[in-house]
Amino acid sequence: MSSHSSIVGGSTAARLLACPGSHQALMSLPPTADAPSEYAEEGTAMHEVMTDLMRWRQMSADDIVDMPAIAADYLGAKFYDRILTQEHLDTMIVPALEQLFELENQYGGGFRVVGVEERVRFPGVPGAFGTCDLILQSPTCVLHVDLKFGQGIGVKAVYHVGEDELLNAQLAFYVAAAMATRPELYPGRELVGAIIQPRGMDPLTHASIYRSELLTFQEDIEQAVMAAIDRDPVRHKGEHCRFAACKVTCPLWTGPLLDLSALTTAPEPDKQVERKVTAYAEYLAQAKALVDELSMFKSAIDEQLHAYLEAGGAVPGWRLKAKVKQRQWIDPAIVAKALKKLGFKSDQIWRKQLQTFAATDATAKKLGKKIPEALRLAPPTNETTIAPEGDPAPVVNRQLLLEQFQASLAELQKEVVR
């Protein structure tokens, strides 16, 4: 079997397309120490849970609908380096299953699992492989699902760049590779790529993918690979640099950082805020762009400093120390027994809560009933967050949100009276 490509994979496709020169720049750096963060390790554990659930579903002859109930049976089991807790289920596993259920419904239902942690080969580039988290097939459609359990930077299936829509490069890589590896799954079926990130701002994003898009993407990857191994490949700076260690030596990054004095003379804040671009607004935009870049640069420097120290180097003012691991409960049954001996009551040890949306929908289907939508409200919020102007989310209108919530409450009261 060919060795894995060091030039391109699913997670590096976007960077290579945007900056072919990044490959050689990375090869010249000391290898980054293999020290995954707590969030990465947690994500690995949750991936193992979902992998086990989906393989269970794949092997089952039954039409599995209530996967959250099956997931509950895994409480207390160990996955990767940790015991599965109720909090894991509530915040990651069950929401991911609910979004998967919603995704399948949006594309007509009737899906069966045909690939779990499927190793797929990208066409046209020797040694280029990837792992597709989940592939599902129905008579009319093939779904490709990438699971993300982080809660930091949101990842979307499609990004809006001006008036254009740009397919997530990692997702495009997996779909193209899956088609090349499992061609028997696809004749006459719609292609869909989806990202499920239960703790993200957009927990489910998806897109129908044209075969012509994938052909163009494949050609672009092949050209980027050729450019990457050429002499003096071009380098570009942008969002693709976020997780690229090579920015620590890139002149496009180290040069502009010397211009911090551009922000030393901030204009006076506007005495009266109006919907127009002022000198202070321009300053905020420039400052935000700068601190975002500095944040990315700091992360890369920290990783390289750690790698250098792990390799035996000496850095003035810095040394290695043992990493503190996040504490977690041992076996829940042992913990519960010990807490009872300390005088805890059962309701102080365990917590009860309503079933999840997916579980109640499954029960309603068996009973031939429909859950009133008025029972599931998205409450109004006074909180907002910043977003770039190209973000597809609607502009905040607090008055409209309040009116919608009041209308939903009125519908709920009618249901209760009935």
Tens digit of each residue's pLDDT (9 = 90 or more) over 222-258: 999 999 888 888 888 888 887 788 887 788 877 655 4
For each of the domains in the chain, give its residue range(s) and CATH number, in order of start: 10-228 (3.90.320), 239-310 (no CATH), 372-418 (no CATH)
- Tens of pLDDT, residue by residue over 156-209, are 888 876 667 788 999 999 999 999 999 999 999 999 999 999 988 889 999 999
Instruction: In whole angstroms, give the CA distance from residue 384 to residue 313.
Output: 45
Is it the case that residue 259 has pLDDT exceeding 60? no
The CA-atom distances, in angstroms, between 185 and each of 134, 173, 181, 406 are 13, 17, 10, 47
Residues 77 and 323 sit within 8 Å (Cβ to Cβ): no
Q: Which among 20, 3, 11, 2 is positioned nearest to 222, based on CA atoms?
A: 20
Q: Which residue has the tokens 């994938």?
A: 214
DSSP 8-state symbol, 319:
-
More confident residue, 114 or 390: 114
DSSP 8-state symbol, 238:
S
As a whole number, mean pLDDT of residues 380-407 equals 62
What pairing do the DSSP bridges indicate for beta strands 141-147 and 129-137? antiparallel
Residues 166 and 398 sit within 8 Å (Cβ to Cβ): no
Instruction: In whole angstroms, give the CA distance from residue 239 to residue 246.
Output: 13
Q: Within 28-168, where are the H helices? A: 38-59, 67-72, 86-88, 94-106
Q: Which residue has the tokens 């976007």?
A: 14
Helices (H) and strands (E) in the chain, counts: 14, 9
Is it the case that residue 338 has pLDDT exceeding 70? yes
Beta bridge partners of 214: none
What pairing do the DSSP bridges indicate for beta strands 190-196 and 141-147? parallel
- Tens of pLDDT, residue by residue over 18-67, are 899 888 888 877 666 455 566 778 888 999 999 999 999 998 866 656 78
- Tens of pLDDT, residue by residue over 119-165, are 999 998 888 888 999 999 999 999 999 999 977 677 888 887 666 77
Instruction: In whole angstroms, give the CA distance from residue 309 to residue 241.
Output: 23
Output the pTM of the full model.
0.68
Q: What is the pLDDT of residue 67?
A: 86
Instruction: In whole angstroms, give the CA distance from residue 143 to residue 51.
Output: 16
Task: Compute the mean pLDDT over every residue in the chain, rounded to the nearest whole number.
Answer: 81
Is it the case that residue 4 has pLDDT exceeding 50? no
The angle subtended at Cα 392 by Cα 387 and Cα 397, nearest 5°, is 70
Q: Which residue has the tokens 């859950």?
A: 371
Q: Reduced to 3 DSSP states, what percent helix, strand and coil does the chain have, rounded to the nearest 5? A: 45, 15, 40
Residues 33 and 306 sit within 8 Å (Cβ to Cβ): yes
